């Protein structure tokens, strides 16, 4: 028997160069759809910027921005059918969640520390944010497997980062996804940093996508800062899932242009100059350049998009602020369908009900 062959993953899919030139085949979506994608990416970017600013003013809790990673989440979300497909998020894919129907108001409430920040409205096929790294991946696989058993035709996209691939939950879930041929697309946003740990210290695997080979599932890499590449790659994976061909692990190569969280100081560990290099590969700028060069949008269209994004954010922020403060009695009792008498007595100790 010869030596093991290293798992081979084809080169990362890419449609647009960092400067926005089409480098390959035809784009996988219409200009109209691309403009809608661009707008959603901008909404995510401006939401994060607004949130950081509000956090610095003491009006929001510690939060994890997704600046620089908008194409990775929006491109994946665009490949889904919102009616039957699900998103199971971690916490750095707000932009994609907005595409899939998460109201901006809920995203703001999350950053305010309000319990309703986890209240995904009925009809939106999405689980709440998940702060435990990789903890949601088994849920995504179980959900996908359940959708298959119930013959709903639905698939699941779950997001996580490069650090999550070191967790046992990732391994156990990817393994089960393979065994059960679950219609799940595991989208790893490899943003190169897990807080201060670079991906080279996270794993000795040359790529994260090649881990798929060991699980017997489909693996692919794509340029995570290229909306078209992410969309096409995830779309192909979703098509496989729908055709009964099982699970995929997609590695979207991207970069965390900002902080891990607002409590983090990346200057302590990120090599000087690295962020500047990646600024040149900004997914939003790249798509804008492409669309403008081909005349699909103009400078004034962009201004118009920015203006409506600003308006939408202002409206959602207003709504979030109008949300009444959570009533502790009400929320602590929500652990069970019918709270036990013992719990209700403990809640009485908290003081009178706000609504009494």
Partner 1 sequence: MTWGLERMPEITLLEAINQAMHLEMDRDERVVVVGEDVAKSGGVFRATDGLLQKFGPDRIFDMPLAEGVVVGSSIGLAIAGLVPVAEIQFMGFAHNAFSQIVDQLARVRSRSCGRFHAQVTVRMPYGGGVRTPEFHSDAFEAQFAQAPGLKVVCPSNPRDAKGLLLAAIRDPDPVLFLEPLKGYRLVRGEVPDGDFTTPIGEAAVVRPGRDCTLIAWSAGVQLALRAAEDAAQHGIEVEVIDLRSLVPLDVNTLVKSVMRTGRAVVVQEAPLTAGFAAEVVSTIQEEAFFSLQAPIRRVGAPDAAYPVQLLEEHYIPSPERVLRAIRATLKD
- The residues binding partner 1 (CB under 8 A) are 88, 115-116, 118-122, 127-128, 132, 135, 137-147, 149-150, 152, 168-169, 172-173, 175-176, 179-180, 331, 334-337, 340-343
Closest distance of CB 5 from partner 1, Å: 24
DSSP 272-301: TTHHHHHHTT-HHHHHHHHHHHTTSS-HHH
Catalytic option among 39, 45, 100, 260: 260
Pick 10 or 168: Cβ nearer partner 1: 168
Known catalytic residue: 353? no
Q: What are the DSSP calls for 35-89, one per residue?
A: HHHHHHHHHHHHHHHHHHHHHHTTSS------TT-HHHHHHHHHTS-TTT-EEE-
Is 59 assigned a catalytic role?
Answer: no
Q: Which is nearer to partner 1, 268 or 341 (CB)?
A: 341
Determine which one of 59, 269, 330, 353 is catalytic.
269
Smallest distance from partner 1 to CB 123, Å: 10
- Active-site entry in 111, 114, 218, 256: 256
How far apart CA 14 and CA 37 sit, in angstroms, is 17
For the CB of residue 97, give the shortest distance to partner 1 in the complex, in Å: 14
Nearest CA to 259 among 196, 203, 166, 201? 196
CB-wise, 24 or 121, nearer to partner 1?
121
Q: Which is nearer to partner 1, 54 or 127 (CB)?
A: 127
260 is annotated as an active-site residue: yes
Kindly list the distances between the CA atom of residue 223 and the CA atoms of 6, 136, 254, in Å, as whole numbers in the listed order. 22, 24, 7
Contact between 70 and 41 under an 8 Å Cβ cutoff? The reply is: yes
Q: Which CB, 7 or 179, lies closer to partner 1? A: 179
Return the C-alpha torsion angle 242, 245, 248, 252, nearest 10. Answer: -60
Q: Which residue has the tokens 């009792």?
A: 333
Q: Of the two residues 83 and 342, which places its CB atom closer to partner 1 in the complex? A: 342
The rounded distance, in Å, linking the Cα atoms of 74 and 340 is 42
What contacts 246, CB < 8 A, 6 or more positions away?
177, 178, 181, 182, 183, 217, 218, 240
Task: Compute how many other C-beta atoms are within 10 angstroms of the C-beta atom of residue 22.
Answer: 14
Q: How far is the CB of 64 from partner 1 (least distance, A)?
A: 17
Most distant pair of Cα atoms in the chain: their distance = 76
Q: How many CA atoms lie within 13 A of 170 on its CB side?
A: 23
The residues annotated as belonging to the active site are: 256, 260, 269
């Amino acid at each position: 028997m010869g030596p093991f062959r290293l798992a081979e993953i084809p080169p990362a899919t890419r449609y647009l160069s960092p400067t926005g030139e089409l480098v390959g085949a035809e784009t996988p979506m219409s200009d109209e759809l691309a403009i809608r994608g661009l707008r959603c990416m901008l909404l995510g970017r401006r939401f994060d910027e607004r949130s950081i600013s509000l956090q610095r003013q003491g009006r929001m809790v510690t939060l994890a921005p997704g600046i620089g990673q908008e194409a990775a989440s929006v491109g994946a979300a665009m490949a889904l059918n919102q009616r039957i497909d699900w998103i199971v998020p971690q916490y750095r894919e707000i932009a994609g969640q907005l595409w899939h129907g998460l109201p901006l108001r809920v995203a703001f409430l999350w950053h305010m520390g309000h319990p309703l920040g986890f209240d995904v409205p009925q009809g939106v096929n999405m689980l709440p944010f998940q702060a435990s790294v990789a903890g949601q991946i088994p849920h995504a696989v179980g959900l996908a497997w359940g959708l298959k058993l119930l013959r709903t035709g639905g698939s699941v996209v779950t997001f996580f980062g490069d650090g999550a691939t070191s967790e046992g939950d990732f391994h156990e879930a990817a393994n089960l996804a393979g065994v059960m041929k679950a219609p799940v697309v595991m989208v790893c946003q490899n943003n190169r940093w897990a807080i201060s740990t670079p991906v080279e210290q996270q794993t000795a695997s040359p790529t994260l996508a090649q881990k798929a080979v060991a699980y017997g599932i489909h693996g692919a890499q794509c340029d995570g800062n290229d909306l078209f590449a992410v969309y096409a790659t995830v779309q192909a994976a979703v098509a496989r899932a729908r055709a009964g061909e099982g699970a995929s692990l997609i590695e979207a190569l991207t970069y965390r242009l900002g902080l891990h969280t607002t409590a983090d100081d990346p200057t302590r560990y990120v090599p000087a100059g690295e962020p500047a290099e990646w600024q040149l590969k900004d997914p939003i700028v790249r798509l804008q350049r492409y669309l403008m060069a081909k005349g699909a949008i103009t400078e004034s269209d962009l201004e118009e998009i920015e203006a409506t994004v600003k308006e939408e954010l202002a409206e959602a922020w207003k709504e979030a602020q109008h949300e009444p403060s959570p009533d502790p009695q009400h929320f602590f009792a929500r652990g069970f369908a019918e709270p036990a008498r013992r719990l209700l007595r403990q809640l009485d100790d908290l003081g009178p009900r706000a609504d009494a």
